[in-house]
């Protein structure tokens, strides 16, 4: 489970996802595979790092960290507000994961202004949503781990061999099984929609911390449209 810095999720009993996206998404959805009612995007808080800097009385780096967190949060929200069209998209801060796991949404789901959503399509107990997280994903025989930054990744791996990307999970925070759209196509088209701004308008990389984000909303929206064979 996500605990401020990284996310541990259990794989369903299906083959582990690969990264060859053009091979993964060659089929359309089956009749029993229904589109999500909403996409919930995790907003990183870097709470543990903030606590460590406060404990170290490092006010300078704490200020730099807060600035980086604010900027990356803004990029994520603006990207999905501008470019995700498949279904309603809401946001939640990573420290509220336990509430989402408990299917409690009131006061937890946020809109693009970081205000609580008042008219969500989801209601308490609803499981018809996907959860999106920008980070680094690694696989072991039993678990899939998504790290929100390369510092956390390096603490658990000898060398950071993966680059961050946008990954998607089900309501139990299990990475969507292979063959399902757990990540964007390597190459996609999104008929009827163009990115609202140039791609670099949604890019951020901190010069002081391993905190970054690249535009993900447009391609994942197109991926869902293609997978579910819908015209939205």
Q: Is residue 160 in some structural domain?
A: yes
Residue-number span of the structural domain to which 33 is assigned: 6-227
Q: pLDDT grade, residue 162 (50/70/90)?
A: low
Q: Is residue 137 in some structural domain?
A: yes
The predicted structure's pLDDT at residue 99: 97
The predicted structure's pLDDT at residue 187: 54
Q: pLDDT grade, residue 136 (50/70/90)?
A: confident
- Using the structure block, give the residue that is written with the tokens 């606590």: 51
Q: Residue 151: pLDDT above 80?
A: no
The predicted structure's pLDDT at residue 5: 36
Q: Is residue 1 in some structural domain?
A: no
Please report, for residues 28, 91, 95, 142, the alpha-carbon distance to residue 45 in angstroms, rounded to integers and kept in the order given.
36, 12, 7, 27
Calculate mean pLDDT across residues 3-26. Answer: 36
Burial 52-84 (b: 16+ CB within 10 A, else e): ebeeeeeeeebebbeebbeebbebbbbbbebbb
Q: pLDDT grade, residue 178 (50/70/90)?
A: low
Mean of all residue pLDDT scores within the chain:
79
Calculate mean pLDDT across residues 144-151. Answer: 48
Q: Is residue 16 in some structural domain?
A: yes
The predicted structure's pLDDT at residue 21: 37
Q: Residue 205: pLDDT above 70?
A: yes
- The predicted-structure confidence for 63-119, as pLDDT tens digits, reads as follows 999 999 999 999 999 999 999 999 999 999 999 999 999 999 999 999 999 999 999
- The predicted-structure confidence for 24-59, as pLDDT tens digits, reads as follows 344 555 566 789 999 999 999 999 999 999 999 999
Q: Is residue 232 in some structural domain?
A: no
CA distance 136 to 148: 6
User: Residue 22: is it exposed, middle or buried by C-beta count within 10 angstroms (0-12/13-18/19+)?
Assistant: exposed
The predicted structure's pLDDT at residue 231: 52
Q: Residue 161: pLDDT above 50?
A: no
To which H or E segment does residue 222 belong? helix 217-227
Q: Is residue 110 in some structural domain?
A: yes
Domain count, the chain: 1
Contacts of 188-192 spanning 24+ positions with Cβ under 8 A: 188/219, 188/222, 188/223, 188/226, 189/222, 189/226, 190/85, 190/218, 190/219, 190/221, 190/222, 190/225, 191/231, 192/231
Angle at 105 (CA atoms; ends 101, 109), nearest 5 degrees: 105
Give the whole-number percent of the chain exceeding pLDDT 70.
69
Calculate mean pLDDT across residues 186-210. Answer: 82
Q: Is residue 13 in some structural domain?
A: yes
Query: What pTM does this model have?
Result: 0.79
Q: Is residue 60 in some structural domain?
A: yes
If one compares 111 and 151, the residue with the highest pLDDT of the two is: 111
């Amino acid at each position: 489970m996500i605990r401020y810095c990284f996310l541990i999720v259990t794989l369903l009993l299906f083959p582990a996802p690969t990264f060859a996206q053009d091979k993964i998404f060659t089929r359309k959805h089956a009749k029993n595979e229904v589109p999500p009612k909403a996409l919930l995007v995790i907003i990183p808080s870097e709470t543990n790092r903030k606590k460590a800097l406060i404990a170290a009385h490092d006010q300078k780096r704490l200020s730099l960290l807060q600035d980086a967190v604010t900027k990356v949060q803004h990029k994520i929200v603006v990207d999905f507000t501008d470019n995700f069209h498949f279904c309603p998209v809401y946001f939640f801060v990573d420290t509220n994961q336990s509430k989402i796991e408990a299917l409690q949404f009131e006061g937890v789901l946020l809109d693009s202004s970081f205000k609580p959503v008042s008219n969500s399509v989801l209601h308490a107990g609803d499981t018809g949503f996907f959860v999106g997280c920008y980070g680094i994903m690694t696989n072991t025989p039993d678990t899939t781990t998504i790290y929100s930054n390369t510092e956390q990744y390096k603490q658990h791996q000898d060398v950071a061999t993966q680059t961050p990307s946008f990954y998607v999970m089900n309501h139990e925070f299990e990475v969507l099984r292979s063959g399902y759209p757990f990540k964007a196509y390597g190459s996609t088209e999104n008929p009827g929609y163009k990115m609202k701004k140039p791609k670099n308008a949604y890019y951020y990389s901190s010069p002081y911390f391993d905190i970054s984000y690249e535009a993900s909303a447009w391609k994942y929206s197109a991926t869902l449209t293609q997978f579910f064979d819908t015209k939205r």
